[in-house]
């Protein structure tokens, strides 16, 4: 197996960034989902309720971000080290975590509602709920530091879609960080509880990823349909979840970093 694509999402829910190589930290790819837009209650706003986030482009720059969106120009914003600290929740039913307030006028105008941009100054402050160790941490991602998808599994999924008269979907619908090739379709079903060596780093495979309605949103236009959730419900329902891709946790501790690159070999570690 090998890595064929690397992606990060500097602001939770924003348009992807494509990379030839990326840094890896204990809580995810460097810069991945350290920023989030929250509502008046401090709860994260995601594509589930705001597909317009697909039109938000976020590009890191030294000490901050440049945000652009159609009709709203560009906002250059610095990491708000000295701004007020507030408690935010990635989801309403999740535990609050500390963040720093970065901006509210531009993001409110962009989304057409009361909204605030926040920054996770301390990524060691959010633990992982399950299938993880007590010292594992995660950024403002849904639940785990890294999401890996298998290109052959997407091919199998798209075969089901076309057989049913639907259009195939691109891998971007699943918003992975890593995409692997040269593995059989659904090989990842056997990986939870094991480790993957990617380049010089290892990652624990925590669990399969249960998919939500974000997969039905066109990541280029923001338009919403019914697929691929309908076909996942038919072919990939396990328990109460519709599974595609797997969640990874880097084998790194606070202060450790590494790098991965497209083309890096990926191997299941035999223990």
Query: What digits encode the pLDDT tens for the residues 181-217?
Result: 999 999 999 999 999 999 999 999 999 999 999 999 9
What is the residue extent of each domain of the chain?
2-269
pLDDT exceeds 80 at position 270: no
Q: Give, as one character, the DSSP assignment of residue 77.
A: E
Alpha carbon distance 215, 56 (integer Å): 17
Which position has the token pair 């605030």? 116
pLDDT exceeds 90 at position 67: yes
Residue 271 has what pLDDT?
65
Q: What angle do CA 254, 58, 24 make, to 5 degrees?
A: 25
3-state per-residue secondary structure call for 180-219: EECCCCCHHHHCCCCEEEECCEEEEEEEEEECCHHHHECC
pLDDT by residue (tens digit) across 145-178?
A: 999 999 999 999 999 999 999 999 999 999 999 9
pLDDT exceeds 70 at position 244: yes
Distances (CA, A) of 239 to 147, 185, 233, 236: 20, 20, 11, 10
Residue 129 has what pLDDT?
86
Q: What percent of the chain has pLDDT over 90?
A: 98
The band of 51, judged by pLDDT with boundaries at 50, 70 and 90, is very high
The DSSP code sequence of 95-146 is: PPEEEEEEESHHHHHHHTS--EEEE-S-GGG-B--SSS-TT-B--SSSSSSE
CATH number of 2-269: 2.40.33.20
């Amino acid at each position: 197996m090998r890595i064929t694509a690397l992606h990060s999402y500097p602001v939770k829910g924003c348009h992807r960034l494509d990379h030839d190589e990326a840094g890896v930290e204990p809580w995810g790819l460097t810069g991945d989902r350290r920023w989030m837009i929250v509502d008046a209650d401090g709860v994260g706003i995601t594509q589930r309720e705001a597909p317009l986030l697909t039109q938000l482009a976020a590009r890191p720059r030294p000490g901050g971000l440049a945000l652009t969106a159609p009709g709203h120009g560009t906002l250059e914003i610095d990491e708000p080290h000295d701004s007020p600290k507030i408690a935010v929740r990635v989801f309403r039913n999740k535990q609050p975590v500390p963040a720093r307030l970065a901006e509210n006028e531009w993001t409110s105008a962009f989304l057409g509602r009361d909204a605030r941009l926040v920054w996770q100054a301390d990524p060691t402050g959010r633990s992982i709920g399950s299938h993880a160790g007590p010292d594992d941490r995660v950024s403002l991602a849904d639940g785990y530091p890294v999401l890996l998808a298998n290109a052959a599994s997407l091919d199998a999924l798209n075969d089901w879609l076309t057989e049913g008269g639907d259009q195939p979907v691109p891998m971007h619908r699943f918003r992975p960080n890593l995409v692997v090739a040269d593995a059989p379709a659904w090989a990842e079903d056997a990986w939870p509880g094991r480790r993957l060596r990617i380049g010089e780093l290892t990652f624990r495979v925590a669990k399969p990823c249960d998919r939500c309605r974000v997969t039905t949103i066109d990541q280029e236009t923001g338009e919403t349909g019914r697929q691929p959730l309908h076909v996942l419900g038919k072919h990939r329902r396990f328990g109460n979840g519709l599974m595609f891709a797997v969640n990874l946790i880097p084998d790194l501790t606070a202060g450790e970093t590494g790098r991965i690159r497209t083309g890096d070999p990926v191997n299941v570690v035999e223990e």
